[in-house]
Amino acid sequence: MLQSGLVKYLRDGKGFEGTLIVAAVLYLLVFAAFPLIYTVVMSFQEVDMFTLGTLVRPFAGLTNYTDLFHRPEFAPIVWNTMIFVTLSIAFQLTIGFALALFFLQDFPGSTYVRGLFLAGWILPALVVGAVWRWIFAGDFGVLNYALQSLGLIDGQIYWLSDPAYALYSVIIANIWLGIPFNMILLSVGLAGIPGDVYEAAEMDGANVIQRFLTITLPMMGPTLGAVVALGVIFTLQQFDLVAALTQGGPANASNVAQYWSWQMSFQTYEISGGATVATMMIALVIVVAVIYVRSVQREQSF
Amino acid sequence: MKRYLLLAFALLFAAIYLFPVYWMYATALKTSGSIFKYPPELWPSEPLVQVSRVFAEHDIGRYLWNSLLVASGITAITMLLGTGAAYALANARGAKANVALFLVIVLQVLPPSLMVTPLFVAFNHVGLLDYPRTAVVLATAAKTLAFYIVLCRATFTQVPRELKDAALVDGNSHLGAFFLIILPLARNGILITSVLVFLQSFGEYVYSRSFIATRELQTATVNLATYLSANSADWVGLMNYAGIYVAPILIVFILLQRQIVTGLTSGALK
């Protein structure tokens, strides 16, 4: 009796759809929300190789945080992370926007050729990192050769082992990875601007630059905001490139927070430290995500 | 005339952008002596196919198999849990549904390199690390599930509501309407999103690197990374390895390019 009632509930009415949502949400709660909370808990505990297996660990208060702030590498890594995010997004967005505008023009095969760029998005970042490592190679690398042929540099640049260049090498590879996604999203935004707005402006005598500044940019505002927010989120996820190119070296010159957290947990086994960095970074990512979701939802309600 | 000039420029931009992919395969065809020439040969002067030698030498088949297993597991869990949830969320209205959708989107953005610490400790408690590939599947599916729900939900919102209502009027249950009417209509979107999930999982690195301690169980990303740090001068071997690894990905991409672009653009901003 009870069983047939349950079957009926699942087959009909709201029960079916409700169950579908609950199943997925439950999975996400166990494998995403729970670890999220657990990492916050661990950032207030002493966690190392000895207390790893126990559930009840000594409470550490804020010492994990104060220890972290007093480490000599803390400030440089925070600074690196900021440079990494800012430069990556600035160039991904500019190049992606320029390409999106270019491919908006009417010529044969434009959609197909534009789609070819997505090859960069679909390749595993670790493999992309391996290929860029070969391109960046100091003595026989093709990048140094190209720059020398163009007369831009004289000697060899040791991209990955010179502390002055290591971070920028990772950023260059990351810009390469991010261009296609930016371009595709911005293309969608551009396609949404009605053509007659441009025609009207053209009849009023507005030139290309005026049309870009007075029509394209303002109408692309919401899309640009969403793309920047997604850019921050994706850039803070970038781990594989750092692992393939520099492993944060030399001497943390190219280390960023998301890699540092992993290094502490899995290479030096300072698990509290890793959890503490993770807590702060996750808080940052969630703030950006909430801003992004709310702006997209407000957009849709119009 | 101007249109063909634009096409020429477009091809030039694409060629510059895709140069790293070309360089990977060009290097894979060079001899180990000729890669250390300066200036480098932009075109391999004496091309040498070394794929099968590298494949056997590094036991690449084993690691590709592990990657395939992991990616299949992730895709299966994602499709199983995600399809229904995406459909229900496309229909649902009200505060509860909004909270669920919000949760899904926010949980999608959590960086794996930061989530791996608590997951490792928790998996260690419950003994899941004894089954490292399962651990990778379970952890990664949490990430792909959210991505899948967001994209598939966009597909389901494009299926007209009236079709489902008509099916219900005709005497179908909600279950029947979902399987017989809605799923076939949304099939293309579901398949493309699943392909994207599979391709992403096939290149997963953070969780595999952190959970899988046994060499024989490593995925191809982890094995390639190990090889990269141990023999960083064997570029011919490395580029062959990388080229073999991404060849299936590139083939799927070329075949489904148009659908992938459409699938991404329809759901990514919503």
Residue A122 lies in a domain: yes
Per DSSP, the residues of B134-203 read HHHHHHHHHHHHHHHHHHHHHHHHTS-HHHHHHHHHTT--HHHIIIIIIHHHHHHHHHHHHHHHHHHHHT
Q: How many CB atoms lie within 10 A of CB A107?
A: 17
Residue from A98, A127, A130, A129 nearest A114 by CA: A98
Q: Is there a domain that residue A203 lies in?
A: yes
Distance, C-alpha A11 to centroid of its chain: 41
- Residue B270: the pLDDT is 41
Tell me the nearest-neighbour CA distance from B48 into chain A, angstroms: 19
Look at chain A and report how many structural domains it folds into. 1
Lookup result for tokens 């808990």: A41
Using the predicted structure, report yes or no on whether residue B34 has a pLDDT greater than 80.
yes
pLDDT (tens digit per residue) in A258-295? 999 999 989 988 888 999 999 999 999 989 888 887 77
Contact A135 B23 (CB under 8 A): yes
CA dist., res. B122 & res. B119, Å (int):
5
Round to whole Å and give the CA distance between B197 and B30: 34
A36–B113: do the CB atoms touch at under 8 Å?
no
> Which residues between 55 and 114 in chain B have a beta carbon less than 8 angstroms from any beta carbon of chain A?
77, 81-82, 84-85, 87-89, 91-92, 97, 100, 102-107, 109-114
- The answer to whether residue A15 is domain-embedded is no
Cis peptide preceding B39, ω within 30 of 0: yes
Sign (positive or negative) of CA dihedral B8, B10, B13, B17: negative
Asked if residues B177 and B170 have their Cβ atoms less than 8 Å apart, the reply is no
Sign of the CA dihedral A252, A258, A260, A266? negative
Cβ pair B7:A185 closer than 8 A: no
Q: Which pLDDT does position B269 carry in this prediction?
A: 45
A–B interface: beta-carbon pairs under 8 A: 305
Q: Which of A12, A52, A131, A256 to mutate to test the interface with B (most CBs of B within 10 A)?
A: A131
> How much is the pLDDT for B248?
93
> Is A149 inside a domain boundary?
yes
Q: Which amino acid is at A248?
A: G
Q: Which residues of B touch A189 (CB under 8 A)?
A: 269
Structural domain span for residue A152? 70-300
Of B40, B92, B249, the CB nearest to A145: B40
Q: Over the stretch A193-245, which tens digit does the pLDDT of each residue have? A: 888 888 888 888 888 888 888 888 888 888 888 889 889 988 999 999 999 99
Q: Calculate how close chain A gets to B124, using CA atoms only, in Å.
A: 7
The reply to whether A84 falls in a domain is yes
Domain of residue A149, CATH code:
1.10.3720.10
* Nearest residue, CB atoms, B85 vs list A20, A55, A185: A20
What radius of gyration, in Å, describes the C-alpha atoms of chain B?
A: 23
Instruction: Classify residue A157: in a domain, yes or no.
Output: yes
A156 φ/ψ sector (left φ>0, alpha ψ -120 to 50, else beta): beta
Please give the structure tokens belonging to residue A106. 């009417």
Decide if A42 is inside a domain. Answer: no
| Ordered structural domains, chain B, with CATH | 64-267 (1.10.3720.10)
**Which of A119, A266, A277 has its CB closest to that of B210?**
A266
pLDDT confidence bin for A6, thresholds 50/70/90: low
Interface predicted TM-score (ipTM) of this complex, two decimals: 0.90
The verdict on a CB contact (< 8 Å) between A38 and B260 is no
Q: Sort A123 into a burial class: Cβ within 10 Å, 0-12 / 13-18 / 19+.
A: buried
Assess contact for A272 and A47: CB atoms under 8 A.
yes
* Phi, psi angles (nearest 5°) of residue B38: -135, 125
pTM confidence score = 0.90
Q: Could you give the 3-state DSSP secondary structure of residue A249?
A: coil
Q: Which residue has the tokens 């502490």?
A: A264
For chain A, the straight-line distance linking the first and the last C-alpha, in angstroms and rounded, comes to 48
Domain assignment of residue A11, yes or no: no
